[in-house]
């Protein structure tokens, strides 16, 4: 599974407004770094970030582990609202 698709599936499982989820990959200047931007509705920000950022860190950990199995890139995930 593609890392962007994996991130999107995880985030969609957490939010109430599934149609407002947008996940895109952006290029970076660094060779082994991938930036994934996650956009969610403002009402779902708390669900995605979680208390003390635990959900966001768990998402980053899962996607980073999947990357280690495939292409071994460092993953940066930016979570923002519309």
Domain edges within the chain:
3-81
What is the pLDDT, as a whole number, of residue 19?
A: 95
Q: Which helix (H) or strand (E) holds 4?
A: helix 3-14
Q: Which residues of the chain have pLDDT under 70?
A: none
- Smallest Cα–Cα separation from 9: which of 35, 33, 50, 38? 38
Reported pTM: 0.91
Give the pLDDT confidence of 30-41 residue by residue, as tens digits.
989 999 999 999
CB atoms within 10 A of CB 33: 12
Instruction: State how far the Cα of 80 lies from the Cα of 24, in Å rounded to an integer.
Output: 12
DSSP symbols for 37-64: EEEE-GGGHHHHH-GGGHHHHHHHHHHH
- Asked if 68 contacts 25 with a C-beta cutoff of 8 angstroms, the reply is no
What is the pLDDT, as a whole number, of residue 71?
A: 83
Q: Tell me the fold of 3-81.
A: GMP Synthetase; Chain A, domain 3 (3.30.300)
What is the pLDDT, as a whole number, of residue 46?
A: 94
């Amino acid at each position: 599974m593609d890392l962007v698709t994996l991130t999107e599936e995880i985030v969609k499982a957490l939010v109430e407004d599934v149609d407002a989820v947008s996940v895109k990959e952006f290029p970076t200047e660094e060779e082994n770094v991938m930036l994934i931007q996650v956009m969610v509705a403002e009402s779902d920000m708390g669900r995605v970030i979680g208390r003390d950022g635990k959900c966001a860190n768990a998402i980053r950990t899962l996607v980073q582990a999947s990357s280690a199995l495939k292409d071994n890139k460092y993953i940066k995930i930016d979570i923002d609202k519309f």
